[in-house]
Structure 1
Amino acid sequence: MTPAEIETDVPPDAFRAISAGRLHWCGLRGDYTVTCWGANFYGRADPPTGTFVDLAAGDSHTCGVREDRWLACWGYNFYGQLDAPAGTFSDVSAGWLHTCGVRDDGALTCWGDDRLEQISAPAGAFRAVAAGSRHSCALRDDYTVTCWGSNEAGQLEAPIDTFSAVTVGAQHSCGLRADGTITCWGANLGGQADAPSGSFLEVAAGEFHTCGLRADSTVTCWGQNGSGESDAPSGTFVSVTARGTSACGLRDNGTVTCWGESFSGYARPPSGTFSAIFAGWLNTCGLRNNGTVTCWGNNDLGQARTPAGQFSTLAIRWSQPCGLQADGTVACWGDGNDEHEDAPPGAFVDIAAGFAHTCGLRSDGSIECWSHSDVFGNDVGQLEVPSATYQAVASGPRHSCGLVYDGSITCWGANEHGQTDAPSGTFVALSLGHDHSCGLREDGTAACWGRDFHGQTYPPPDKFSAISSGWDSTCGLRIDGTVACWGDNSYGQSDPPAGTFASVTAGKHHSCGLREDGTAECWPQLPQGVDYYYSRDYLREH
């Protein structure tokens, strides 16, 4: 569906149109270039150079109409969804694994996955097209709607009426009537087809939610709200777009506000200073100078709530952060499964958390690991700590390592990728990722081992003072205070900003550094002109 465009002159760095994909977003700048952000698997957030007049972000690919009205597509292409036909187009829409476009003569053409006949476009003259997960709908010249593809929930059964626009989600479709009312059809388990009354200017369907731009320029969303995707922010907008479990609105000043699922919330630290920061898979926590904790980012299981009390250190990996309280005991928050709670009695001096297990270092150099999970807690021996005297402990999802007092590293737990096969030598620090492990040698060089799908076990030949491993990436703090990261960079988590830092921490899709003045800075950062909104109701509920 063609994104709405600001009709007035737009500054080059502002946006004139936006399109939401699944975990990535693209905007058309005032100078008609494209900026994309978010997940970048297969290059779906890497637009080509040049100028465009329209763009459409899909689940794993993006397409745009160039100024000469020819198409350009980028991203995932297993089903040929990037292979746009030659010729000029007036509209384009990127779906899950297929793409559809309206030619200048009104003819409809689709390409890509056709397992459910979603590219078997009907004949006739059309004004606009909307490609969804496994079905598509188009607006004919006579303003009626025709749909094709999968019909398991009745999403093809458009009412006999006239419309000014059409949009499709995973299993539902919606149309904007000429009188400004919205009607939806198809799946409605989350209420995504229960359009509110009133007059609207636009409608945009996500996976299981829908948003509409009202006549008064405010946005209303309905349907599922597991990620806050139906909690539209206040204020006025000129356009709205939705996909997956997120939505974005374009304001009249050319800035963009997004809400719902995002890989940016945990990369937006609050103001103030910290003594240490800890990046988890989908959220981040910071330890304030007075020992209190502030967390931000994904909060679907309460992991971004602020715990009471004072802490000396934190361990944040999956969905339940834990910390050492002033008396050395362990406290955790988030995740109703409580798999990291019920630590053994007594005090600890350090703590490390995996997927379903936690390990603590005692003052006598012993390590104890525990879990509440009968299924995943010790399925590969992650609780079976080898006997030794340790000075540090680190955990990945299903394995852990300890730094022995003689400087050697001992590991236990999952080893399908060699992540517990620590090299010999003397080390001063260690950090564990998903299926890889890293250690800092006495001479300041880094050594990594285990799975290397993204190059995460090949550190640069620099000298480091600290190291932190994320899911499939690792970051190191160089001797001069600058940061180097290596491994997976699908979200920009391995592109650190310039300048010097006092510490660094790597998460799953993001990394953070603590500046020398105690402020936190995380990456990837949202592009200029884009902001993210979390509703207070969503945070209270979660």
Structure 2
Amino acid sequence: MIRKVLLIISIILILNFFASEAVFAQGETDSAIRFKSIAAGDFNTAAIKEDGTMVAWGDNKYNQCIVPPNLNDLKELAIGYGYIVALKEDGTVESNNDLGNNYIPPDLKNIVQISSTSDFICALKEDGSVITWGNNSYRQCNIPNDVNNVKSVSAGFEHIVALKSDGTVAAWGYNSEGQCNVPSGLKNVKAVSAGYGFSIALKEDGTVVAWGSNRYGECNVPDGLKDVTATSARGNHVLALKGDGTVVAWGCNYDNECSVPSDLKDVVAISAGGKHSVALKSDGTIVSWGNRSSGQCIDSSSIGIITSVCSGDYYNKYIVSNKRIAQMKYGRDDDNYKLSNVDFTDLKCISVRGTHVLGLKENGTVVSGGYNFYGEDDVPRDLTNVKAIAAGMNYSVAVKEDGSVIAWGRNSSGQCNVPADLKNVIQVAAYEGHTLALKEDGTVVAWGNNSSGQCNVPKGLSNVKAISAGKSFSVALKKDGTVVVWNVNDNSVYKVPNGLKDVKEISTGSDHIVALKEDGTLTAWGNDLFNQCYIPDGLNNVKQVSVGEEETLVLKQDGSVIGFKYPENNRLFIPNFYSTQTPQETYTISGYLSPDIVGLPQKSHLKSNINVELVELKRNIYTGDEGYFKFSNVPQNENGYTLRITRSGYLEREIHNIKPNNSGSEIGSAENPIYIWGGDINKDKSINMLDLILIAKLFNVNSTDGGKYIYNRDLNADNVINMEDVIIVAQHFNLTTVDYINDKLYDNNSIRELMLYNNT
């Protein structure tokens, strides 16, 4: 009997041991990032990780997806136009960029919730009061006197909806569509959400009420909808989370933002973006759908360490992660273009041209997806042992382990007619009508369309290590880091820039070339008609580059991805989801500015919109109506920083040698701000007779006088150009920028001297 008991105990212990090992092993292999909160913006998405740090991806035109290393302990996020605002666990509010920090009131604390959609922010305090800042064009920042005891707030497009503790709702601001006309008798509400011209209320019984604009059906709550636990509205659509973890959507569906994935379940949080939707699942992963124009719809469960990027036409941008494709931009998936039906897993590499996607798997087989107009996706059934691939416009090329080449698809220019004696090939390149092959001996062979001499390989070309093809030209990268380009016209725009060297990678679009240098920087040249040779200032630490028809993608050394076209367009950004933030010692530079006009109150529109530039870091922000500005996450600089202060009609001012310290550097105060002098109308850095003449020419003109009124001559912004503006000029007559205290060392102990100078 004792032996049986001991045997049973031993079996149980062994089973428990192996069960623990299995769980441990599963935890080791399951590397998906876990998130606890999400927020969707107009063209980007942000999320808080379990460790309290954030990541953001999508449109990065204003660096709104770049996360400062010291932004942590986060509780909630809100995305506005060009910025992300974060609520911290301690009840304070910060932003990840200067645009978001612009108007955050100083000493803001005890915040329990934040909301933002366009260019203003509202926050709920512990005591149930609401505070707002930012654009107030429709008085959305003017809190009604009877709005108190608030439980939650939601910012729409220029209007705000607030839920009070008694279950009633208040709304104010822009009311063009009746979005602020709360239905009579509405009560027992437990949550609110505001969209573009409409408002949503979730009642205690799990039903939803909507009012305001209904041009896209955003107020057509689905019949029978119940058991709703949360709602989210933005743009022109609504998401509703049900108690069973499923999601319902209605409203505008032009970008499939309401096309909820059929298998989506176990959802615990939702966030509606401008034209996309995001859901957080109980396992901490994120699912998103809708518009992909800026890469805002990355799903976290499909993203690991990013190993490569590939850019096709405007609709097709891909990253390779976990040996599989993650489509991140637009992502056509209509009846003729089904990438989802292709097994793009266990990949070694991919190649993309236009809408054609070719993948080489680790086992040496090839998969292909796209429109298949010319059989470019009809991979030969017996094709195996492949070591390299190239996707052309509507045709495909593969190199086998034995060095032979096979091509299929469109053959209008003989681009698929592989030379019979071609062998010992290690790489191929393809574009629209011609094909290149690089041989083991470093020589190049070309065939197909030769209308521009793109197949006329230069005599003696050798020691080549990489090749690439454009529409009417061919490119070779030599082992010594130099580049050779050939077509009919050697003096064309494709001519290699003088002195270009140390190149380690090349990539081509239809009409231009981008070279990645050993130092991680890029050089671009070619046809620049549409600014396709644009490279963002300061771009460095690039690991890989891929040029598409309209957009360039780069993979950086830190594992993040950047996509760009030309300056005025959105910049795509995908973070390294697995990176950990290393805290850095950074500082703040803040202060108060004001026009030198007697009698201004502490808050005045004259104090707002003063441009403050942190010169060395090329960062700028604008003051709020208290004249306050704040730069966060400023690194130490032994040489000090320069602030450049400008406002139209005022004399530019620079403050030098600002050295931030642990207590922060505050320049001026609310009571004694730094002054700027009015009167430099013509921006010649002096206030003189020329400025008075410009004012005299429009004397007594007011803002209602059609196109005659010019605001920078109305120095006191009273909507009329009159004697008061002349007096302001007279007060500072013959002063120049050098009359400011330019070279004084500013620290917290010497500010008073500046104040005294400004007030004399």
Cα RMSD, aligned residues only = 4.8
The one-character-per-residue Cα deviations of 1:495-536 (angstroms, maximum 9, x if unpaired) are xxxxxxxxxxxxx9589xxxxxxxxxxx744789xxxxxxxx
Q: CA deviation at 1:25?
A: 3.6
Counterparts of 1:232-243 in structure 2, within 5 Å, are 232=261, 233-243=263-273
Matched to 1:493, the amino acid is V
Counterparts of 1:47-66 in structure 2, within 5 Å, are 48-66=70-88
For the 8 Å contact 1:330–1:343, the answer to whether it is kept is: no
Matched to 2:154, the amino acid is A
Unaligned runs of 5+ in 2: 1-32, 303-317, 325-343, 400-404, 419-427, 439-443, 459-463, 525-533, 563-570, 581-760
Q: CA deviation at 1:122?
A: 3.4
Match of 1:34 among 53, 68, 74: 53
Matched, 1:17 2:37: yes
Match of 1:208 among 212, 236, 246: 236
Counterparts of 1:203-282 in structure 2, within 5 Å, are 203-223=231-251, 224=253, 226-227=255-256, 230-232=259-261, 233-253=263-283, 255-260=284-289, 261=292, 262-263=297-298, 266-267=318-319, 268=321, 269-270=323-324, 272-278=345-351
Matched, 1:309 2:379: yes
Instruction: Classify 1:405/1:240 alpha carbon distance in 2 versus 1 (closer, same or farther; 3 Å).
Output: closer
The one-character-per-residue Cα deviations of 1:341-372 (angstroms, maximum 9, x if unpaired) are 7843452665445xxx67544899557679xx
Q: CA deviation at 1:387?
A: 7.5
The one-character-per-residue Cα deviations of 1:389-417 (angstroms, maximum 9, x if unpaired) are 26876367x9965239997522789xxxx
In the alignment, what sits opposite 1:532?
none
Q: CA deviation at 1:23?
A: 4.6
Q: CA deviation at 1:100?
A: 1.1
Counterparts of 1:317-332 in structure 2, within 5 Å, are 323-324=396-397, 331=409
Matched, 1:173 2:199: yes
For the 8 Å contact 1:205–1:211, the answer to whether it is kept is: yes
Aligned to 1:217, what secondary structure does the other structure show? coil
Aligned to 1:77, what secondary structure does the other structure show? helix
Matched, 1:137 2:158: no
In 2, the alpha carbon distance for the partners of 1:99 and 1:408 equals: 51
Matched to 1:432, the amino acid is S
Instruction: Classify 1:61/1:324 alpha carbon distance in 2 versus 1 (closer, same or farther; 3 Å).
Output: same
Q: CA deviation at 1:190?
A: 4.4
For the 8 Å contact 1:136–1:147, the answer to whether it is kept is: yes
Q: CA deviation at 1:290?
A: 4.8
Match of 1:389 among 457, 471, 476: 457
Matched, 1:69 2:91: yes
In 1, the alpha carbon distance for the partners of 2:355 and 2:73 equals: 34
In the alignment, what sits opposite 1:539?
none
For the 8 Å contact 2:368–2:379, the answer to whether it is kept is: no
In the alignment, what sits opposite 1:453?
536
In 1, the alpha carbon distance for the partners of 2:347 and 2:242 equals: 42
Aligned residues: 433
Q: CA deviation at 1:147?
A: 3.8
Matched, 1:410 2:439: no
Q: CA deviation at 1:231?
A: 1.3
Unaligned runs of 5+ in 1: 1-12, 332-340, 371-382, 461-465, 476-484, 495-507, 512-522, 529-542
In 2, the alpha carbon distance for the partners of 1:526 and 1:322 equals: 36
For the 8 Å contact 1:73–1:84, the answer to whether it is kept is: no
With the length of structure 1 as denominator, give the TM-score of the two structures: 0.63
Q: CA deviation at 1:169?
A: 2.8
For the 8 Å contact 2:56–2:65, the answer to whether it is kept is: no
In the alignment, what sits opposite 1:493?
561
Counterparts of 1:68-107 in structure 2, within 5 Å, are 68-75=90-97, 77=99, 80=102, 82=104, 86-107=108-129
In 1, the alpha carbon distance for the partners of 2:234 and 2:365 equals: 41
Aligned to 1:42, what secondary structure does the other structure show? coil
Higher relative contact order (CA 8 A, sep 6+): 1
For the 8 Å contact 1:421–1:449, the answer to whether it is kept is: no
For the 8 Å contact 2:350–2:360, the answer to whether it is kept is: yes
For the 8 Å contact 1:182–1:195, the answer to whether it is kept is: yes
Q: CA deviation at 1:92?
A: 0.8
Matched to 1:276, the amino acid is C
For the 8 Å contact 1:149–1:156, the answer to whether it is kept is: yes
Q: CA deviation at 1:316?
A: 6.3
In 2, the alpha carbon distance for the partners of 1:104 and 1:239 equals: 23
What percentage of residue pairs aligned between the two structures are identical?
16
In the alignment, what sits opposite 1:8?
none
Match of 1:46 among 67, 75, 78: 67
Q: CA deviation at 1:146?
A: 0.7
Matched to 1:244, the amino acid is G
Q: CA deviation at 1:449?
A: 1.9
Match of 1:437 among 488, 511, 514: 514
In 1, the alpha carbon distance for the partners of 2:572 and 2:356 equals: 10
In 1, the alpha carbon distance for the partners of 2:521 and 2:503 equals: 11
Q: Which moved more, 1:398-407 or 1:173-182?
A: 398-407
The one-character-per-residue Cα deviations of 1:238-267 (angstroms, maximum 9, x if unpaired) are 3222223333333445x1332214145644
Instruction: Classify 1:474/1:144 alpha carbon distance in 2 versus 1 (closer, same or farther; 3 Å).
Output: closer
For the 8 Å contact 1:359–1:369, the answer to whether it is kept is: yes
Instruction: Classify 1:49/1:510 alpha carbon distance in 2 versus 1 (closer, same or farther; 3 Å).
Output: closer
The one-character-per-residue Cα deviations of 1:34-77 (angstroms, maximum 9, x if unpaired) are 32232355244516434244333345322233333222222361
For the 8 Å contact 2:232–2:270, the answer to whether it is kept is: yes
Instruction: Classify 1:132/1:510 alpha carbon distance in 2 versus 1 (closer, same or farther; 3 Å).
Output: closer
For the 8 Å contact 1:388–1:404, the answer to whether it is kept is: no
Instruction: Classify 1:66/1:403 alpha carbon distance in 2 versus 1 (closer, same or farther; 3 Å).
Output: closer
Instruction: Classify 1:509/1:287 alpha carbon distance in 2 versus 1 (closer, same or farther; 3 Å).
Output: farther
Q: CA deviation at 1:180?
A: 1.6
Matched, 1:164 2:190: yes
In the alignment, what sits opposite 2:331?
none
For the 8 Å contact 2:376–2:394, the answer to whether it is kept is: no
Matched, 1:347 2:449: no
In 2, the alpha carbon distance for the partners of 1:302 and 1:193 equals: 41
In 1, the alpha carbon distance for the partners of 2:498 and 2:486 equals: 10
Greater per-residue helix proportion: 2
For the 8 Å contact 1:229–1:259, the answer to whether it is kept is: no
Matched to 1:235, the amino acid is K
Match of 1:183 among 174, 193, 209: 209
With the length of structure 2 as denominator, give the TM-score of the two structures: 0.47
In the alignment, what sits opposite 1:194?
220
Matched, 1:114 2:136: yes
